[in-house]
Structure 1
Amino acid sequence: MSLLANIAGFSIFGLAARLGQLGIQKRPLLSNPTGHLVSMGVFGFAGYWAYQWDVRAAELIAEKRSQIQEHRRKQIEAAENSGVEALAGEH
């Protein structure tokens, strides 16, 4: 998901939350547009943060996968070397 789509989606959710809040309070929905903008901005920032967190988590997962693959490769090499040494020692 792109950064813009993430921010826009969270902003729209923030607007919906604000409209729901005003609906519960039975206040006019368009009485204070500044409140709508603040709500959209706060939720948009949360969307930006969520996107950055997702990117960082993907980087950490890729890094950990490469570490695990390297560790497995070393274990396989060590097992193969010890097997060759055991066969050489039998003769």
Structure 2
Amino acid sequence: MSLLSNIVGFSLFGLAARFGQLGIQKRNLFDNPGAHLIAMGVFGYGGYWAYQWDQRAAVLIAEKRAEIQERRKQQVTAAEEAGAAALAHAH
């Protein structure tokens, strides 16, 4: 998901939350548009942060997978060497 769609999605959710809040209070939905913008900005920033966190997590997972793969290669190499050494002693 792109950064822009993440921010817009979270902002619209913030607007919906604000409308829900005003609906529960039975107040006019278009009484204070500045508060709508604040709610959208706060939730939009949350969307930006969530996107950045997701990108960083993907990098960390990729690094960890590469590290695990390298460790497995080293274990296979060590096992093959141990097996070759055991065969050499058997003869």
What is the TM-score normalised by the length of structure 2? 0.99
Percent of aligned pairs with the same residue?
69
What is the TM-score normalised by the length of structure 1? 0.99
Look up the match of 1:30. 30
User: 5+ unaligned residues in a row in structure 2: which ranges?
Assistant: none
Look up the match of 1:82. 82
Q: How do 1:13-52 and structure 2 match up within 5 A?
A: 13-52=13-52
User: 5+ unaligned residues in a row in structure 1: which ranges?
Assistant: none
Look up the match of 2:2. 2
Q: How far off its partner does 1:90 sit?
A: 1.1
Please tell me the residue identity of whatever aligns with 1:38: I
Please tell me the residue identity of whatever aligns with 1:82: A
Look up the match of 2:67. 67
Please tell me the residue identity of whatever aligns with 1:13: F
Pairwise CA RMSD of aligned residues?
0.4
Give the number of aligned pairs. 91
